Amino acid sequence: MTGARWFPHPLVSLSLLAIWLILNSSIAPGQVLLGALLAWAIPWSARAVWSRHVVVRHPATVLRLLATVLYDIVVANLNVARLVLGPVSKLRPAFIRFPLELDEPYAIWTLASIITLTPGTVSSDISEDRRTLLVHVLDTDDADALIAEIKHRYETPLKEIFEC
Q: Say which residue, 10 or 99, is predicted with more confidence.
A: 99
What are the sequence ranges of the domains in the chain?
A: 3-45, 59-162
Question: What pLDDT is recorded for position 82?
Answer: 92
Side-chain-facing half-sphere of 109: CA atoms under 13 Å? 6
Q: How confident is the model at residue 54 (pLDDT cuts 50, 70, 90)?
A: low
Question: What pLDDT is recorded for position 89?
Answer: 83
Q: Say which residue, 24 or 115, is predicted with more confidence.
A: 115
DSSP character string of 27-80:
--HHHHHHHHHHHHHHHHHTTTTS-SPP----HHHHHHHHHHHHHHHHHHHHHH
Sheet holding 94-99, edge to edge: 94-99, 132-137, 121-126
